Amino acid sequence: MANSFGKLFQITTWGESHGGGVGVVVDGCPPRLSLSEADIQPDLDRRRPGQSRIVTPRKESDTVQILSGVFEGKTLGTPISMWVKNEDQRPEAYSEMATKFRPSHADYTYQAKYGIRNWQGGGRTSARETIGRVAAGAIAKKILRERFGVEVLAYVKQVQRISCDVNPETVKVKDIEANIVRCPDVAIAEKMIRLIERMRKEGDSVGGIVEGVVRGVPVGWGEPVFDRLEADLAKGMLSLPASKGFDIGSGFGGIHMTGLEHNDPFRMKGNKVRTTSNRSGGIQGGISNGETIYFRVAFKPVATVMHEQDTVSSELKNTTLKGRGRHDPCVLPRAVPMVEAMTALVLVDHALRHKAQCE
């Protein structure tokens, strides 16, 4: 199913940007996990619009309701359905888009594929779809943390050309959440914020990189050859709105090294096999090797800008489109919990698959 993700821990998201609401059904969650809305809401608060001066001003509380799959505070092992009501719909703001395709959005491709599209805020293509992912990801993070001792986090590493140098082995959540751009380097964060604010005032946008980090993954997660752990991570990240690139470990930078320089030597540390470097990014042969997993996701500048642009109408006539609507001048601060969610969904699925096959 095109709207579903995962094998044993599977999610199906639903809803449109300006419909009644959005949500997710989670199937395959283990039973007897303590769960309430309070476990889900913090991540949705980090994802929601209107949370700071550098994100879209759309006002949504994004309050989650668990509709099924939980009884007396514990999961039943049955499907968990969660719903978030859309509170600040303004479909009239998109009336021009009913007959014109927004540049670099999915308007034209959806129309060409299906012969119909929801032009109100992009409908299903809107980033509001990710509410379901983040809600499901919060459950996945809780399972990973409580049952496997695995920590998942992400942060903004780069905005356009402004980049920070952060050690994925030691970065802390409190430092990530200490500022509105979610960059753990305070001095660099201020530069990023100033750039994003300038773009907002100019009616333009910028992109950048979110780095994901997973600590505490045991050896053995991953299903070669087609479901390699890094391959599933790449699919998860590149399914996010505005994502344009993925690399892991040394990534594209590894091409500047020789094989001897790039190899991660093995040594015994206590009774465990460890590596003295981690250019593999915690995964070798598609299987976790026990080291920290770290990777990067590139996000393009948001396509909605406050300037008139050339486009084509639904009647296939050349025309122009006025710049209007609410938008993020930079998607990165809100993309951080989205990257964490997709990471957790991939990992909890592979954790359950490994347990079913090998334990």
Per-residue model confidence as pLDDT tens digits over 247-256: 999 999 999 9
What average pLDDT does the segment 269-288 reach? 97
What pLDDT is recorded for position 19? 86
pTM listed for this prediction:
0.96
Average pLDDT for 341-351? 98
| Residue type present at position 101 | F
Please tell me what DSSP assigns to residue 56: -
Report residue 282's pLDDT band, with 50, 70 and 90 as the boundaries: very high
C-beta neighbour count of 175 within 10 angstroms? 17
Number of domains into which the chain is organized:
1
Residue 3 has pLDDT above 90, yes or no: yes
| Confidence band, pLDDT 50/70/90 cuts, at residue 325 | low
Calculate mean pLDDT across residues 90-112: 88
- pLDDT for position 246: 98
For residues 5 and 208, what is the distance between their CA atoms, to the nearest angstrom? 25
Encode pLDDT of 193-206 as tens digits. Answer: 999 999 999 999 99
| Averaged pLDDT, 297-309 | 95
> Which residues have C-beta within 8 Å of that of residue 180, sequence separation ≥ 6?
51, 52, 53, 54, 193, 333
CA 220 vs CA 159, 288, 329, 350: distances in Å: 34, 5, 40, 9
49 — pLDDT class (breaks 50, 70, 90): confident
Q: Is the model more confident about 289 or about 91?
A: 289
Strand-by-strand arrangement of the 21-27 sheet: 4-5, 10-15, 21-27, 80-85, 64-66
Q: Could you tell me the residue range of the domain that residue 290 belongs to?
A: 4-358
Contacts of 187 by beta carbon, 8 Å cutoff, 6+ apart:
none
Domain with residue 42: its CATH number is 3.60.150.10
Mean pLDDT over the full length of the chain: 95
What is the per-residue pLDDT for 89?
67
pLDDT in tens, 144-189: 999 999 999 999 999 999 999 999 999 999 999 999 999 999 999 9
